[in-house]
Structure 1
Amino acid sequence: MSQPINLFTIGFTQKTAQQFFETLVQAGVQRVIDTRLNNVSQLAGFAKRADLEYFLQKIGGIQYIHCLDLAPTQDMLDNYKKKKGDWATYEHQFLQLIRDRQIETRVSPELMDGACLLCSEPKPHHCHRRLVAEYLHQQWGTLEIHHL
């Protein structure tokens, strides 16, 4: 691909449904790739899997895909969130996991172009969606990352 791949990332927390969906539509997102391990929690509100898939299609004609290959393991998540682990350890473990999974062979540049990686964290700094995007950029070299 000679054209750069435009890959977006977004977290749904600390946003109203209106802010969330308008941001995706205004950015021109074509598909949302859900990178959460758990996407049916009551805490997810409008971002629960079935509701999110419906709203994305109705509001923006946006496709929904849940991709567990891009999610952390339950143990990793628990150690970081519940046991208050440190970010550096989580980042190291998660990067090793996606290297081991060879995610660059499980998703294509075509799938990622115009896609938006979704998770719950409001900002990308301490979030695995940023790590996925940066890793794919290292592998493919033609990625432009836009954090929404």
Structure 2
Amino acid sequence: MSVLFTVGYEGTDIDRFIRTLKAAGVERLADVRAVAASRKAGFSKTKLAERLADEGIEYSHFIALGDPKPGREAARAGNFDLFRSIYGAHIQTAPAQESLRKLIDFVQDAPTCLLCFERDPETCHRTIVAREVIEETGFEVFNLFADDPERYVRHAAKLPRFHSGEGLTAA
């Protein structure tokens, strides 16, 4: 079975973030933020894409899969039921569904990681996106935490691996 990684950059810096991706064997990063700007150095779209390219990691922004502002505000306020309701309705929209189809194609050929801000995947819309992807691909999800890349280096043999040809295109 193949794997889809997810990661948030909350609580880390760009160097540890990159080391985490590389330790897990990520070759593509799918940015699912609605707004790919960040006050954290290195995480705004252009700077992040440049750094990833320097590291041999492909970057793509799936803006239509980002959490709309009311959903982000609900999550920030700790109202996760409202957040999930808002995002659940959003992901059913035509633009989000089209972007989801593109994302599913994007993850097929190389180890891919979904990116958003929140460290905790349970309070982030990337988990909802990941569920949609795995429903179509059969991949498993593995959540990375970018604040301690050495844990992935130390336990590299235990990390799930991407297996080319598994998933939607092999079905």
TM-score (norm 1): 0.83
Q: Kindly indicate whether the alpha-carbon contact (under 8 Å) linking 2:13 and 2:41 is maintained by their aligned counterparts in 1.
A: no
Give the drift of 1:24.
0.4
Deviation at 1:78, TM superposition (A): 2.9
Percentage identity across aligned positions?
Answer: 27
Q: CA RMSD in A?
A: 1.9
Structure 1 portions without partners, runs of 5+: none
* d(CA) in 1 for partners of 2:100, 2:36: 24
Q: 1:123 is matched with which residue: 120, 125, 129?
A: 120
Aligned to 2:35, what secondary structure does the other structure show? Answer: coil
Offset from partner CA, 1:73-121 (integer Å, 9 cap, x none): 123223432xx25101111221221123325753253411321110110
Inter-CA distance 15–105: structure 2 relative to 1 (3 Å threshold): closer
Offset of residue 44 of structure 1: 2.8
Pick from 82, 86, 98: which aligns with 1:89?
A: 82
1:125 aligned counterpart, secondary structure = helix
1:12 is matched with which residue? Answer: 9
2:46 matches 1:53: no
Partner Cα distance (2:67, 2:119) in 1: 17
Looking at structure 2, the residues matched to 103 and 44 of structure 1 have their Cα atoms a distance apart, in angstroms, of 30
Q: 1:45: Cα distance to partner?
A: 1.7
Q: C-alpha distance in 1, partners of 2:118/2:5?
A: 14
- Residues 1:133 and 2:130 aligned together: yes
> Secondary structure of 1:146's partner?
strand
The aligned residue for residue 69 of structure 1 is 64
Corresponding residue for 1:35? 32
Q: Which residue identity is paired with 1:74?
A: K
Unaligned runs of 5+ residues in structure 2 are 145-171
- 1:11 and 1:123 in contact (8 A); partners too: yes
Distance 1:141 1:17 in 2: 30
Q: TM-score, normalised by structure 2?
A: 0.73
Aligned residue for 2:122, secondary structure, equals coil
CA contact under 8 A between 2:3 and 2:139: conserved in structure 1?
yes
CA–CA distance in structure 2, aligned partners of residues 108 and 52 of structure 1: 19
The answer to whether structure 1 residue 78 and structure 2 residue 73 are counterparts is yes
